[in-house]
Structure 1
Amino acid sequence: MLAKALGRIGNAYQRKGDLASAVKYFNKSLTEHRTPDILTKLKEVEKAKAEAERLAYINPELSAQAREEGNIKFKGGDFAGAVKDYTESIKRDPSDARGYNNRAAAYMKLVAFPEALKDTEQAIKTDPKFGKCSMTLPSFRSRFTDSRICHTVKAYIRKSSVLFGMREYTKALQAIQDAAEHDTENQHAKEIQSQEYKIQTEIFTQRGSESQEETYARAMRDPEVAVRPSLLLSLLLFPWD
């Protein structure tokens, strides 16, 4: 009887939106008598409470402040500290891809390549247009470009660098070609060309005495290469002896 009464109190608090009290009384109910119904309600309320707290924590201004603090630590060589600040920036505004992109750079310095790769992919996923340097105001074209949109190009470049560090050269080449496709105003052309040449050189070195026909056959066994003609062409057109 006591368990049911406590469960009803929990239900009442849940309807009022007092999720903390609802969790408290559902837990008390389960202590008296464990039932599937109350356990399910507890999990639902805990999930809703966590989401409400996450949303309440969002503050773009504090996100920017944390990101700037991370930038200062990054420049000072405190990469672990920078990761912490960038993580706080992401929590404060998970819709801003810059937090993920910057944290990826810090992870790279710590040689935490899997984490860095995950962050570059999240930066692109969070805002696919982030970094696509083509949105300008016509009357100010020569002096205005949406800087926030221009970071997806940087995310693809960084992704390529991470994959290069992981010795995933074909994937690194694919990422840098994605960067080039997004860099419609060639703002990062020099950096992209330099990265692509570095990747191609490494691929060529690894290829050794392999013939062009053998390279083609090997490349076609990679599904990512087979479905991207431009990637296959890049692998085959690099200078041969």
Structure 2
Amino acid sequence: MADEAKAKGNAAFSSGNYTDAIKHFSDAISLSPSNHVLFSNRSAAFASLGKFSDALSDAQKTVELKPDWAKGYSRLGAAYSGLHNYSEAIAAYKKGLEIDPNNDALKSGLSDAQAAMSRESRPSSSPFGDAFSGPEMWAKLTADPSTRGFLQQPDFIKMMQDIQKNPSNLNLYLKDQRVMQALGVLLNIKMMPGNGGGPSDMEVQSEEPIREREVKRPEPKAEPVPEPAPEPMVEEEDDEVKEKKEKKRLAQKEKEAGNAAYKKKEFEEAITHYSKAMELDDEDISFLTNRAAVYLEMGKYDECIKDCDNAVERGRELRSDYKMIARALTRKGTALAKMAKTSKDYEPAIEAYQKALTEHRNPDTLKKLNEAEKAKKDLEQQEYFDPNIADQEREKGNEYFKEQKYPEAVKHYTEAIKRNPNDPKAYSNRAASYTKLGAMPEALKDAEKCIELDPSFVKGYTRKGAVQFFMKEYDKALETYQEGLKLDPNNPELLDGVRRCVGQINKASRGDLTPDELKERQAKAMHDPEIQTILTDPVMRQVLMDFQENPKAAQDHMKNPMVMHKIQKLISAGIVQVK
């Protein structure tokens, strides 16, 4: 249930619905209050809504539950930064880097916190500098639909990082409409269409009609207008952008050629194209993940894993789409799973799949995770399988059973079952021990497993019948004993079991039960599904009514073997009494 709530929270977070994400993570926490990942996820959701006090509380709980988990300190640092407590944020990021020195998220957070602290210590050189400070800037841009898409554009990310480091650099990007749109979101103002895209094109949102605003719009305030950069530099920048766009275009062509070669199973050619695409454009990790897929098909698992690791690392730097990072982690998990030869080998594959699912809840990845966990469990069982040790453990259990040390006997029979889960004798012996301990449900389960493994093993029927007899289910016990007699008609234990069951059933038929015995048997019968079915059967209800009101009709009913069998069940259960 906790995993289901967590999955719903991850899905809501991924779609930007942070309020619902908090609700689902809270539900998961109530079911699993010691799970540090749940507190970490809720901290991120609170931070995305700007509720940094709540984010801090959850981050502190995360670190408390898992002090050696680097990501917890990343959450802690982000919460402190959101509260403008940069000294504590820096300390948190540094603590996390002591645990994971190569963690890019911690490095980036530390750099942002240090830059923010430096800005606080000196006057801002831009009237809008504060809007770009701290991690809340990214949260606001992610939450607003008009700017969310810009975060997938590396040049926009680079401009925003440049402004964060030095707010006065905002003047360099005022002609970029994306930057102006971002500024409007950060300052909670609406951008008006304009040519220059400068500060004079901003207006605070109001309910006043647009036409009226245009008429009544006041003259722009006299603010320092940044001087345009020298013309040669503008031309050089344009040339650089054009060259970059051309390289990206060529890179996409190489990727398409690689895809075509991959479909034709021309793997070496596909690798050549993807490698060329990476040389032209190192800001698209899909080239790496595609090449990793080729290596996976070729069985070059080490190369595949290396490309996946590089894709994740580079993707973190570029703030790439979380789905792309999840894809790289899934491919890494698949390569590791294919390399696995022992149960231990599956552990890094399972870890990679789990990390992928934290990035994106993909059904295919979840299926691969379940398959890897099952394969690990099956291998563990195979590695532990040893019939010789199983026999030794079963003999130890027999010795303890003879000494009436039943808990110790159960322990050794259990080990015997782990070593050889296909041995019916171990289940039979453990059923006998459970019976002696009064653990009837466990004893019944073992007896049934014994019969399932070997339907011809007579001892299984004597065990099961004995358990049912002790549970006062005499009809069921009689049926079990009779099944066993089909295999061994002269078995003394089975014959004695039949005799004892018939005696108890006839005791009810003769009305020899004490009032307490009758009351107990009736109460037990009312919880028996078979008895409930008989009592709710319209035909049987008419039969019972005839027994009271029409004896002749009742005698006719008793000629039907099926009706007779059901009546006998009710008599045995104490529901029907014969006078």
Q: Which bracket does the TM-score occupy, shorter chain normalised?
A: 0.7 to 0.9
Match of 2:506 in 1: 204
The alignment status of 1:102 with 2:432, answered yes or no, reads no
Using the TM superposition, give the Cα deviation of residue 221 of structure 1 relative to its aligned residue in structure 2, in angstroms.
1.7
Indicate yes or no: 2:495 matched with 1:193.
yes
Q: Aligned residue for 2:335?
A: 12
How much identity, in percent, do the aligned residues show?
Answer: 41
CA distance in 2, matches of 1:172, 1:39: 45
Q: Deviations 1:49-89 (Å, cap 9, x if unpaired)?
A: 11111122111001111111111121222212211211111
Residue equivalent to 1:81: 408
Using a 3 Å threshold, how does the CA distance of structure 1 residues 217 and 60 change in structure 2: closer, same or farther?
closer
Deviation at 1:114, TM superposition (A): 1.5
Displacement of 1:126: 0.6
* Of 22, 28, 34, the match for 2:355: 28
Please give the alpha-carbon distance, in whole angstroms, between the structure 2 residues aligned to 1:191 and 1:161. Answer: 10
Q: Distance in 2 between matches of 1:20 and 1:219?
A: 60
Amino acid at match of 2:471: M
Q: Kindly tell me the number of residue pairs found equivalent between the two proteins.
A: 198
Scaled by the length of structure 1, the TM-score of the pair is: 0.73
For the residues of structure 1 that align with 2:385 and 2:506, how far apart are their CA atoms? 47
Aligned with residue 157 of structure 1, among 458, 462, 466:
462
Q: What residue is the counterpart of 1:39 in the other structure? A: 366
- Separation of aligned partners in 2, 1:222 and 1:120: 28
Distance in 2, Cα, partners of 1:86 & 1:207: 41
Matched letter for residue 75 of structure 1: K
Task: Summarize deviations over 1:97-149 as a string: whole Å, max 9, x none.
Answer: 001100100110111111111111110111122xxxxxxxxxxxxxxxxxxxx
Taking the aligned partners of 1:38 and 1:222, their CA distance within structure 2 comes to 56
Aligned partner of 1:93 among 420, 425, 448? 420
Please name the residue that 1:175 is paired with.
480
**For structure 2, which runs of at least 5 residues remain unmatched after alignment?**
1-310, 313-324, 513-546, 548-554, 570-579
1:209 to 1:10, Cα distance in 2 relative to 1, 3 A: closer
In structure 2, what is the Cα distance between the partners aligned to 1:63 and 1:10?
35
Return closer, same or farther for 1:114/1:218 CA change in 2, 3 Å cut-off.
farther
Confirm or deny: 8 A CA contact 1:95 1:127 kept in the other structure: no
- Partners of 1:28 and 1:209 lie apart in 2 by 67
Give, as a single letter, the amino acid of the residue that structure 1 aligns with 2:412. D
How far is the alpha carbon of 1:218 from its aligned partner?
7.0
C-alpha distance in structure 1 between counterparts of 2:410 and 2:564, whole Å: 37
> Deviation digits for residues 140-173 of structure 1, max 9, x if unmatched?
xxxxxxxxxxxx2111111111111011111111
Matched, 1:220 2:565: yes
Paired residue type of 2:338: R
Q: CA deviation at 1:13?
A: 1.0
Q: Partner amino acid for 1:9?
A: K
Q: Which moved more, 1:24-33 or 1:50-59?
A: 24-33
CA distance in 2: counterparts of 1:27 and 1:193, whole angstroms: 57
Moved more, 115-124 or 9-18: 9-18
Q: Which moved more, 1:20-29 or 1:107-116?
A: 20-29
Alpha-carbon distance in 2 for matches of 1:81, 1:41: 40
